[in-house]
Each structure stands twice: as C-alpha cells, then as structure tokens.
C-alpha cells in the first residue's frame, strides 16, 4: 500500500539577517495509514517547519511533498483548502480566538460542510472519543493544559481526517496528562487507522509511537531497528515413559 504522506529530498532554509540558516537538508519520510510517527528534536531543529511543509502551509526550497500520491505544490488554492478541510487535520494548540464554548469550537469547521444538527452530532462524537465530552459547555480559558490538549485533538479529528499533524501536544503537561494524550494518539492510529505525524521536543512523549525519527542539525534520522536475536533452536525433548524405564529395570 502506498504512503499517505510522502516527503522526498526536502530542503528548507531561512534567512536570519545576512546569514542563511539551513533548517532541513535532504529530508525524506513516509507516513502510512494507521501509523503513528513521532519526530523528536530539540527546540529550533525544524520540527514545526517539517509539519508545515507536510500540510503545504510553507513551501520547500527543494524536494517534493505528496499526499495520497498528489504533489501538494501542484494543487490550486481551492484544492489545497479542500484537502485541509477534508483530509488533513492540523491540531492547533492556541485554541479559539473568540470566547466560544468548546462544543461550538469543535463543531465550527464542520458547519461549512454539514447542517447544524449533523455538525454538532459529529463534534459531540469527537469530544466523546477523546474523553472531554464533559467540557462541552466550558470555555478555553477555564480548561487546564491537559484538557486543552485533548480538546485540540477533538477539534483536529472532528472532520475525520486521514492524516493528523500535531505539534508538541504534550507541552506543559504533567506525566499523567502526557500519557493520556499519547495513548489517545496511539489509539487513533490503531483503531481509526488515522496516520499521525507528531513533533515533540522530549523523548518520553515518543514512547507510544509506532516509529521514531530524530531531527537535528538539519538531518532526519530514523531510529535503527536493533538486530534481531535469533530464536534458539531447541532439540526435541527426549521423553522416556516411566513404564519403559520400569521394564528395562
């Protein structure tokens, strides 16, 4: 089966004053349906840039980004907007700008596609899926960081995307909240076959991912698989029945 998201030979640099800062050098990766890939890297290593390139929120200097086999650079603005609305979920950590109830916030992107009743039913289902249905009537400012992270994920999955892009979802979370969020992302990949591409700056947050890649110094390195130890070949056990031993005695 082909990759859902494919980045091939991506290069990206920024200008800081007169000097060019190379952020990504010849980066390639593939994310498949139902795969939870964590990209780990220190702050400023280019993780957010990588996610933005994956959603064509920025353009690479070199290389190609494709989604479901379509080169994102070839998409029209309308095509790209439709892709972001239907196929790719971008999890925002900033929350709503206005003082919406959380259910309204999660339902908001659905209203463009569905009727009001359908949009709210889907939003409720998404909030129940991530375990924050009880916060439906609350406002962003009244939620703690862990609840905000979960509501953001509900907002991202409400449109049932095929790919979820999520940037540092465990920032400022305690151990319990972090485990809950990463376990949820794992279950979305395992149970709902959503491809999840997550960028995090701390290694413990990558624990529940299917695969880990390290980004630093512009290079993306996939964590090598340790050598498989061969299973020992066991000789068939010699079975001596008690009766035969008694007879021989």
Partner 1 sequence: MSAKIAVLGLVIEEPGPPHRLTAKLRQRLASAEFVDSNVYSALARLERDGLVRAVERRAPGKGGARLAAVPDVDPGLRTPVRRTPGSRTESRVFEATPAGVQRFEEWLLGSSSAPPLRDELHMKVALCQPHNLPRLIELVYGQELVCLGRVQELRRVFERMQPPAPNRWSGLVLVHVRDAELSFWDARLTWLQGVRESLERMHTAYGTARQRYSEA
To the nearest whole angstrom, how small is the minimum distance from the Cβ of residue 116 to partner 1?
38
To the nearest whole angstrom, how small is the minimum distance from the Cβ of residue 150 to partner 1?
16
User: What separation, in Å, do the N-terminal and C-terminal C-alpha atoms of the chain show?
Assistant: 65
Under 8 Å between Cβ of 61 and 12: yes
Under DSSP, is residue 211 helix (H, G, I), strand (E, B) or coil? strand
Per-residue x/- track, 2-41, partner 1 (CB under 8 A): --------------------------------------xx
Under 8 Å between Cβ of 153 and 91: yes
Q: Is position 207 an interface residue for partner 1 (rule: CB under 8 A)?
A: yes
Q: Which is nearer to partner 1, 138 or 211 (CB)?
A: 211
Nearest to 181 by CA among 203, 214, 158, 151: 151
User: CA-to-CA distance for 153 and 164, rounded, in angstroms?
Assistant: 9
Under DSSP, is residue 104 helix (H, G, I), strand (E, B) or coil? helix
To the nearest whole angstrom, how small is the minimum distance from the Cβ of residue 176 to partner 1?
5
To the nearest whole angstrom, how small is the minimum distance from the Cβ of residue 214 to partner 1?
6
Q: Is position 223 an interface residue for partner 1 (rule: CB under 8 A)?
A: yes
Under DSSP, is residue 161 helix (H, G, I), strand (E, B) or coil? coil
Q: Is position 42 an interface residue for partner 1 (rule: CB under 8 A)?
A: yes
User: CA-to-CA distance for 62 and 85, rounded, in angstroms?
Assistant: 26
Q: Is position 208 an interface residue for partner 1 (rule: CB under 8 A)?
A: yes
Interactions with partner 1, residue window 138-177 (CB under 8 A): 175-176
Judged by the rule CB under 8 A, the positions of this chain that interact with partner 1 are 40-42, 45, 175-176, 179, 183, 202-204, 206-208, 212, 214, 216-218, 221, 223-226
């Amino acid at each position: 089966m082909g990759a859902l998201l494919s980045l091939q030979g991506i290069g990206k640099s920024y200008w800081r004053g007169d000097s060019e800062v190379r952020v990504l050098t010849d980066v390639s990766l593939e994310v498949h349906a139902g795969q939870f890939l964590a990209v780990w890297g220190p702050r400023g290593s280019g993780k957010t840039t990588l996610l933005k390139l994956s959603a064509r929120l920025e353009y690479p200097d070199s290389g190609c980004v494709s989604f479901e086999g379509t080169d994102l650079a070839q998409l029209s603005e309308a095509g790209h907007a439709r892709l972001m609305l239907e196929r790719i979920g971008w999890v925002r950590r900033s929350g709503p700008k206005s003082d919406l109830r959380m259910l309204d916030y999660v339902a908001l992107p659905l209203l463009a596609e569905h009727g009001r009743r359908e949009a709210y039913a889907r939003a409720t289902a998404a909030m129940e899926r991530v375990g924050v249905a009880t916060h439906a009537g609350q406002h962003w400012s009244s939620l703690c960081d862990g609840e905000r992270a979960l509501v953001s994920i509900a907002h991202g999955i409400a449109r049932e995307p095929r790919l979820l892009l999520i940037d540092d979802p465990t920032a400022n979370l305690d151990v319990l909240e972090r485990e809950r969020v990463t376990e949820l992302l794992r279950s979305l990949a395992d149970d709902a076959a959503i491809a999840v591409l997550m960028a995090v700056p701390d290694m413990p947050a990558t624990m529940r991912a299917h695969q880990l890649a390290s980004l630093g110094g512009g290079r993306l390195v996939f964590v090598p698989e340790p050598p498989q130890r061969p299973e020992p070949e066991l000789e068939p056990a010699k079975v001596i029945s008690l009766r035969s031993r008694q007879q021989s005695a």
